[in-house]
Amino acid sequence: MLDDPTPVPHDPAQPAAAPYRWHEHRNADAWTWASAVAIAAELRRDLARRPRARLLLSGGTTPAPVYRALARAPLDWARVDVALVDERWLQPSDPDSNAWLVRSNLLRDNAAMSRFESLTRPGHGMEEAVAFANAHARQHASAAVLGMGEDGHTASLFPGMAALDRVLASRQPYVAIDAGGSPGARQWSKRISLTPAGLAFAQSRFLLIQGKAKRDVFRQAMADGDAKRWPVLLAMQGEVPLDVHWCP
Ligand SMILES: O=C1O[C@H](COP(=O)(O)O)[C@@H](O)[C@H](O)[C@H]1O
């Protein structure tokens, strides 16, 4: 349930002043509930002092159980705006879209009352979709929930991507992405992604990862320090610490 014990930060590889906090959970259930509790706490905090809260969510294969747990949190969801960190160039009705994942797993139970902004909509081209997203994105967000691929990508920022320099320097919160040639993007090379400038609007950041391979990738990224090789490091730019929730 949502009052599951708070995880104990623990990672022997973590230096004392690291820009991240490592939360290690014994199994997927503990990981699920602890992550959901932590995200709900950020929303609750904002709902107590602002008219609305804003939640930025990733897609992929990892976060679904956390979203289902979060959907049961007793919050005033009618005052929560839910938006995406990134999207494949797919319509929200496509089961491979990140919008589909969020709709099926978060927009249910108590969270069915929240307001969802998809990044793609029928009849709207890429430029229009990005402009629409940017018109809404320059505002405080309570939390950004990020994932990481085994290639070190986060959001839709892939290592070795052709225009990565331009994306990293962009002042726009969202940009169109062409990740052709990046194996981690799989068949969805056309995408829309939050940029580091967009991520800066989030007052808290969560990275949800599972498995030894992703833990090793994260450690390798930290040891190497090159954000172009390991875009997950971009989640640690700025003042806001990154809360990494991991389980085997
Ligand atoms: O393609 C994407 O991948 C990442 C990581 O996904 P996972 O399947 O390894 O959990 C995800 O965070 C991102 O939103 C998605 O578009």
The CATH class that applies to domain 20-247 reads: alpha beta
What single string gives the DSSP state of each residue in 199-213? HTTBS-EEEEEESHH
Give which of 206, 154, 152 is closest to 31, Cα–Cα.
206
Domain locations in the chain as residue ranges: 20-247
Atom of ligand 1 nearest to the CA of 85: 14
Instruction: State whether ipTM is beyond 0.90.
Output: yes
Angstrom distance (rounded) from CA 37 to CA 32: 9
| 87-111 confidence digits (pLDDT tens) | 999 999 999 999 999 999 999 999 9
The tokens describing 17, both together, are: 């002043």
Instruction: State which amino acid sits at residue 208.
Output: L
| 54-75 confidence digits (pLDDT tens) | 999 999 999 999 999 999 999 9
> pLDDT value at position 14?
45
Give which of 204, 208, 75 is closest to 144, Cα–Cα.
204
**Spans of the chain below 50 pLDDT:** 1-17
CB atoms within 10 A of CB 100: 17
Q: With 0.80 as the threshold, say if the pTM is over it.
A: yes
Atom of ligand 1 nearest to the CA of 185: 1
> pLDDT value at position 128?
98
> pLDDT value at position 18?
53
**What are the pocket residues of ligand 1 if the criterion is a CB atom closer than 6 Å to any ligand atom?**
58-62, 85-86, 98, 147-149, 156
| Distance from Cα 73 to the centre of ligand 1, integer Å | 24
Angstrom distance (rounded) from CA 78 to CA 108: 12
